[in-house]
Structure 1
Amino acid sequence: MMPDKTTTAEERYEYISSQHGGYWRDNFIDHNYLYNLYFPPEDFFSHCTENLHQLILNYPVGQSEIAHLAGKLIQQPPEQIVVGNGAAEFIKILAGMNRQMIVPVPSFNEYVNAAPAGKVVEFPLQAPSFQLDVNSFADEAIRTKARIAVVVSPNNPTSLLVPKSELIRLLEILLDHNCILIVDESFIDFAENGESESLEKDIGDFQNLAIIKSMSKAYGICGIRIGYLLTANTDFRAQIQQGLHIWNINGFAEEFLRRAPQYKQQFKTSCEKVQEDRDEFYTLLSLIPGMVVYKPAANYIFCRLPDDGPSAPEVTERLFVEHNIYIKHCQGKTLPESDRYVRIASRTKKENLALTKALRTVLELA
Structure 2
Amino acid sequence: MNSTTQAGVGFEPDEASDLVNRFPGGYWKYDITDFVLLVNPYFPPQTFLDELKEALPRLITCYPSPNTQMVQLLADALNTPANNLVICNGVAELIPILLGRLGMSIAVPVPTFNPYETSALPGRLSRFFLPPPDFELDVHAYATFARTSGVDAAIVISPNNPTSRMVPHPDLLYLASALRAQQQLLLIDESFIEFSELGRSASLENHLLEFPNVIVLKSLGKIYGACGLRLGYAASANEQLITDIRAAVPTWNVNTFGEFFLSKLPRLAHAAEQSWMRVGRDRDKLYADLRSLDGMRVLKPDANFVFCKLPPHWPDGDVIASTLLKSSRILIRHNGGKTLRNGKRFLRIACRTEADNKLLVEALKGAVD
Are 1:127 and 1:336, in contact at CA under 8 Å, matched by a contact in 2?
Answer: no
**Partner Cα distance (1:189, 1:149) in 2:** 22
Tell whether 2:46 aligns with 1:45. Answer: no
Aligned partner of 2:217 in structure 1 is 212
Q: Give structure 1 regions of 4+ aligned residues with deviation exceeding 6 angstroms.
A: none
The match for 2:355 among 350, 353, 360 is 350
Aligned partner of 2:13 in structure 1 is 10
* Cα distance change of structure 1 residues 8 and 50 upon mapping to structure 2, 3 Å threshold: closer
Tell whether 2:58 aligns with 1:54. Answer: yes
Tell whether 2:268 aligns with 1:267. Answer: no
Aligned partner of 2:70 in structure 1 is 66
Farther-moved stretch of structure 1 (13-22 vs 85-94): 13-22
Farther-moved stretch of structure 1 (50-59 vs 184-193): 50-59
Q: Secondary structure at the match of 2:337?
A: coil
Tell whether 2:94 aligns with 1:90. Answer: yes
Q: Secondary structure at the match of 1:205?
A: coil
The match for 1:228 among 215, 230, 233 is 233
- When the two structures are superposed, what TM-score results if normalisation uses the length of structure 2? 0.95
**Partner Cα distance (1:19, 1:67) in 2:** 30
Displacement of 1:99 in angstroms is: 2.0
Are 1:330 and 1:342, in contact at CA under 8 Å, matched by a contact in 2?
Answer: yes
1:51-75 superposed Cα distances (whole Å, 9 cap, x missing partner): 2122112111112211111111111
Are 2:108 and 2:154, in contact at CA under 8 Å, matched by a contact in 1?
Answer: yes
- Unaligned ranges ≥5, structure 1: none
* RMSD (CA atoms): 1.4
Are 1:216 and 1:227, in contact at CA under 8 Å, matched by a contact in 2?
Answer: yes
1:127-182 superposed Cα distances (whole Å, 9 cap, x missing partner): 01100011111111111111011100000000000011101100111112221101
Q: Secondary structure at the match of 2:178?
A: helix
Tell whether 2:57 aligns with 1:25. Answer: no
**Partner Cα distance (2:129, 2:296) in 1:** 23
The match for 1:299 among 293, 298, 304 is 304
Are 1:3 and 1:12, in contact at CA under 8 Å, matched by a contact in 2?
Answer: no
* Cα distance change of structure 1 residues 99 and 259 upon mapping to structure 2, 3 Å threshold: same
Tell whether 2:346 aligns with 1:341. Answer: yes
- When the two structures are superposed, what TM-score results if normalisation uses the length of structure 1? 0.96
Superposed, 1:116-265 pairs within 5 Å as 116-265=121-270
**Partner Cα distance (1:294, 1:150) in 2:** 21
**Partner Cα distance (2:184, 2:15) in 1:** 45
What percentage of residue pairs aligned between the two structures are identical?
A: 37
1:168-202 superposed Cα distances (whole Å, 9 cap, x missing partner): 10011111222110110000011111122111111
Number of residue pairs matched by the alignment = 363
Are 1:100 and 1:120, in contact at CA under 8 Å, matched by a contact in 2?
Answer: yes
Letter in 2 for 1:277: D
Letter in 2 for 1:16: L
Q: Secondary structure at the match of 1:121?
A: strand
Tell whether 2:347 aligns with 1:332. Answer: no
Q: Secondary structure at the match of 1:35?
A: coil
- Unaligned ranges ≥5, structure 2: none
